[in-house]
Structure 1
Amino acid sequence: MYANRQLAYAPTPYIPRSTLSATINLDEEVKLSTTSAERDLNDSLAEIYSIIVTLDAVEKAYLKDSITEAVYTETCSRLLKQYKSNLADETVSRAFGDIETFKREWDLECPRATERLRVGIPATVEQGPTHKPSQQGDSADATLIVNATENFITLLDAIKIGLIEKDTLHPLLVEIIQAVNKVTDQDFESKGKIVQWLITLNQMRAAEKLNDDQAREFQFDMEQAYYGFKATLR
């Protein structure tokens, strides 16, 4: 019965065409860059991606007390330095854009790393260490106080003679916050201004300068911070 049934259509046999050829060699490695400049750029962007992810993990570990303050400070400082070093290249900086643009482009969710990159210094420097090193009596205290005082005076002198570039002020300000945190954990008057200016300077390019209004405000804030620091010593 089924032998005599006609098919509703006549299937067309497949005949290979000798003119067809593969346009992609599946065994060939796909190159993301064709020039050394493109390769260097991609390597730098990949390095930045890795730094952000690693920094976020380090921040989480520090908050969970999974690593010591010393290890956290050293690792965080190194990652921040590597991040800034990569972005010092103008080509890389243009391709990177800014942190929020980069995160959207590569679907990154790293809020802790984002905040640390915005501040530009480890949390142990920003807030002071939780466990202060033991000190050898009054002589050790006096040495730390003198060091912090000298750092303030050096910064104020730099402002007065017009050294207001980011690459001059930022290191001096880091030294101040580190020095005062070794002396006292009190939140003295205008101490928060030190951190605020650290963040402001961190957003600037190395050769950028404070404008006249900024320089005047910066000097006033640092003088107030110096007086506030000295008040804690009474």
Structure 2
Amino acid sequence: MEVKLWNDKREREMLDSFADLYAIIKTTEKLEKAYVRDLVSSAEYEAECLKLIAQFKTLSFSLRDAVPSIDRFADAYKMDCPAALNRLLVSGVPATVEHRASSASTAASSAAAVAECVQHFITAMDSLKLNMVAVDQVHPLLSDLSSSLAKLGGGILPPDFEGRVKVREWLARLAKMGAADELTEQQARQLHFDLESSYNAFMAALPNAGS
């Protein structure tokens, strides 16, 4: 007897999207392991990883109502993909971008990256002041900030820069919540405090950057 998994076209498209999301996460996990084991070149890894991240962002946004939490989706389908979830949800950029040596950057691109970080810090703090505390409002802002901090490499900021650590911790925390969930007043105040202290530390570190 044939078992029907859907009742109409809309349900079928939803299941297809779930399958695509599952495949993206699994593929990212395999790519991360291949990169760590030196089975793929840095250039090939970065190109493929950027494509997967872009596909993930597009698909997860379109599924934000049906799949409010990617972590819960992964748990529901018993996906053991910690590296993929870290890359897609927390980092948001390829490992090559995170760890790229600062010597690969020109002074101009470094200055642009610094300006970008400042912009993302201020935007995130201002948004909290405007009471934009829903997860689907806060997460993109912190993801952009995390990406811009990663672009600086280790030339300007120390590897253990507190801002990077705190932003990643908040992204990991938000990833466990639903898109429509909101930060409590205490959480919002703590996040603003963490961003402000990280911003001050970031500005203090700039004079130590090499020219």
TM surpasses 0.5: yes
* Structure 2: 5+ residue stretches without partners: none
Q: What does residue 134 of structure 1 align with? A: 104
The answer (yes or no) to whether the contact 1:120–1:199 under 8 Å persists in 2 is no
Q: Structure 1's 87 and 97: CA in aligned 2 closer, same or farther, altered over 3 A?
A: farther
Distance 1:101 1:86 in 2: 19
Distance 1:93 1:178 in 2: 22
1:170 maps to which of 124, 139, 142:
139
| Deviation of the 1:182 alpha carbon | 2.6
When normalised by structure 2's length, the TM-score is 0.75
Distance 1:109 1:147 in 2: 34
The alignment partner of 2:206 has SS state of coil
Q: What does residue 119 of structure 2 align with? A: 150
The answer to whether residue 11 in structure 2 is matched with residue 35 in structure 1 is no
2:77 maps to which of 98, 102, 109:
102
When normalised by structure 1's length, the TM-score is 0.69
User: Matched residues, percent identical?
Assistant: 29
The answer to whether residue 204 in structure 2 is matched with residue 231 in structure 1 is yes
Give the aligned residue type for 2:46.
Answer: A
| Deviation of the 1:197 alpha carbon | 0.8
| Deviation of the 1:233 alpha carbon | 1.2
Summarize deviations over 1:41-65 as a string: whole Å, max 9, x none: 4323333332232222122222234
The alignment partner of 1:99 has SS state of helix
Give the aligned residue type for 1:76.
Answer: L
* Structure 1: 5+ residue stretches without partners: 1-23, 25-29
The answer to whether residue 95 in structure 2 is matched with residue 124 in structure 1 is yes
The alignment partner of 2:98 has SS state of coil
Q: What does residue 3 of structure 1 align with? A: none
Distance 1:79 1:110 in 2: 17
1:43-122 equivalences in 2 (<5 Å) = 43-65=16-38, 66-67=40-41, 68=43, 70-81=46-57, 84-85=60-61, 87-90=63-66, 98-103=73-78, 109-116=80-87, 119=90, 121-122=92-93
Instruction: Say which is worse superposed, 70-79 or 165-174, in terms of deviation.
Output: 70-79
Distance 1:225 1:195 in 2: 12
Summarize deviations over 1:67-109 as a string: whole Å, max 9, x none: 425314413313432552464243x679x96322311xxxx55
Distance 1:41 1:109 in 2: 22
Distance 1:93 1:219 in 2: 24
When the two chains are superposed, the root-mean-square deviation of aligned CA atoms in Å is 3.2
Aligned structure 1 segments of 4 or more residues deviating by more than 6 angstroms: none
More helix by share: 2
Distance 1:136 1:116 in 2: 26
The answer (yes or no) to whether the contact 2:28–2:49 under 8 Å persists in 1 is no
The answer (yes or no) to whether the contact 2:28–2:52 under 8 Å persists in 1 is yes
The answer (yes or no) to whether the contact 2:101–2:153 under 8 Å persists in 1 is no
The answer to whether residue 153 in structure 2 is matched with residue 180 in structure 1 is no
The answer (yes or no) to whether the contact 1:180–1:229 under 8 Å persists in 2 is no
